[in-house]
Every structure is written in structure tokens, then in C-alpha cells.
Amino acid sequence: MAQKLLQLCIDWGTANLSASYSLPSVDPERIENVRFRFISEEAPMMAAMHEGHLVWGYDLQALILKHKVAAEDVIEFFKLALYDQDGAQPERVARVTAQLEQNNMSLDLLIQLHLRAVVDECLREVRDSEDKLLTPGKMLHELDVTDVGLRLSVPQMWSPTARRRMLQAAKLAGFTLVALASEPQCALASLVNKVAKKTVRLPRPLLASDAVTAVDVGCGTTDIVTYRLVDDLSEHSRFEAVSQESGAFCAGQMVNDLLLDVFETSGEVAQRGGFRRVCNDLGITEHEGRRQALAEIERLKLEYERLPRYRICLLAPFKGEATFDSEFT
């Protein structure tokens, strides 16, 4: 991939995204993760139209809590609409399609606007993190989208049509240099980079003709690809894929949905009159209650090993909150 002043890589996920960047003219070996709002290295993918503009992530979360955007207008899991497989949650895809029709918007336009908004946010975070002289006459804080080389990770199972739509959306969003990389390849590249930097040690060196299996269990899909080394493992190694398997919607979000069912039917919720009653008392819709509960479940999954108990908290402006505590089993 040709060099731009800012190399930006985005893991464009099903429910969340993350991003990393490098400044080749400053230090080609240094890679930094984008911290959204300087708090988290992940941001929610969800999007909605507000006052004629697309909003997403943490900005959208704030608007929902202020009742400036209705939860029913939030478009979530729209990445699933790019899959050809029937297993990619047809009910969620149908909801995305209906919401797009209500906004008189195509999926391709949504992706275009979302990508541009995400990159704009990444640029703000990078510019605010530090300032450096990139080239004679150009400081870091002066970067704009024309300086961005964009790399997007996509599922191994995506069809050529889905990949073309992603590339086209990125180019229409204003990016002249765009490349796609499969998610298992990115996972493997990360491992090779860590081994080369000796931050990860393997039981023995990997040599030419050895096989490495990348198991990418994401939010929506799972890709399993076995690669064979063409030469001994190094940061310049070449790999060839020898087998691959994929599954639509059999990963992290499926677990979240199952845990949501457990939460809605739990004794703690039943003691307060059931999930519908809890939402009514808070003045929020059931859809908004489920959206918040799923976000809480995702947070708890990340903290599970450190928590003897879990707490799910549902919020509503001016009406406080409802918390539910229980032990893990």
C-alpha cells in the first residue's frame, strides 16, 4: 500500500469498531491504537440520522440518553446486511432494511457516511493526542482526509460483491487510497509482529511448511483459516491459505443475545414486575431497555474474571436508574 502521511487501519465490526494508526514519516515502526474520547479503544458501531447528519458511537449514545434520538431510530448491526449467507440474522437485516427505507437511504450510502464519520473522529483523536512535524510545512494537527491511507478489515467469508461495495463506499467517502484485508490475516499479522518484536514467545520457531490456524471469533461471525508458511517465520514471512471455514452470526453477539434472554427472565427482573414493567417505570421503550442491557452484558463479559457478581444498570433521564445484581454461575 502506497504511503500517506497517516496510515489508518479500522476493524469495522458488527457491534463495535477499533482503529490503529501509524505516521510513517515520523516513525514507520510505531503503531498506536486510537482511544475514542480518550477513554476506550472500542466504539459502538451504531448510527442514526440527527438534524440531517449521521451520528454514531459515543455521540449517539449521549443523544439517546438525552432523548434527542429515539432508540427505535438507531441502526445497529448493519454490517450483517452485507452478508450473502442466510444465517446472518435475517430478522436484524430486515430491521436494518426497514430503517433505511424510513430514512430514504441505501445501505451503501449509510456505509459511506459512517466510514467518513469514523475517520473524522479518528483524525480528531490523533490530532489532539500530540503534535509533530510530519513533512516540511505540515504539522500533525493539520492532517485532513486527503492525508489518510485507509485499510479496512473484513470477514474472510465476505463475497467479492460485499468487498466491492465496501471499497466503493470508502472511495465515495473521499478516500483515494483504500485497501481491504481479511480479519484472520490481520490476526496473523498481529501475531507475527509480536513475535518479531519478542513480546510473544512461541514454544519453538515456526519454519517453512509449518501450519498456523487463525481462529477469528468476532462479534458477528467466526472465521477459521489455516495458513502454511512459505518460508521461516519472520516479519517478512509469506503465507498461503490452505483451508478455511466460516460461520455467520455464531460469535460474541450470539452469546450476548442468549445472556439477554437469561437476564429478561431472571428472578431479579421478575421481582420488579417483569422487563416490560421495568422499562415502563423508567420511561424507556423495551427496545431501548434491551439495547442498554446488551451494552451492559458486553461490558460485563470483558470484566467477567474480575467480578464475583454482575450488575446490569438501565438508565433513564430524570427517572434515575434500575440496577440488577446477581452472582455468576
How far apart, in whole angstroms, are the C-alpha atoms of residue 165 and residue 107? 10
Q: By C-alpha distance, which of 123, 185, 192 is closest to 153?
A: 185
3-class DSSP state of 67? coil
**pTM across the whole model:** 0.80
Handedness of CA 55, 281, 287, 42 (dihedral sign): positive
Alpha carbons 97 and 218: distance in angstroms, whole number? 23
For the record, the C-alpha cell of 306 comes out as 474480575
Nearest CA-CA partner of 287 in 113, 126, 71, 84: 71
Mind listing the domains of the chain with CATH numbers? 6-182 (3.30.420.40), 252-327 (no CATH)
pLDDT in single tens digits along all 329 residues of the chain: 557 888 999 999 888 899 999 888 888 878 888 999 877 889 999 999 999 999 999 999 889 888 899 888 999 999 989 987 654 678 888 999 999 999 999 999 999 999 999 999 999 988 887 777 777 778 888 888 888 999 999 888 888 999 999 999 999 999 988 999 888 888 888 788 777 777 788 888 888 899 888 887 777 677 788 889 898 888 778 888 887 776 665 567 778 888 889 899 888 899 999 999 999 988 888 888 888 898 888 888 777 666 666 778 887 766 678 888 765 55
C-alpha cell at 179: 485497501
Contact assessment for residue 191 and residue 239, using Cβ atoms and an 8 Å cutoff: no
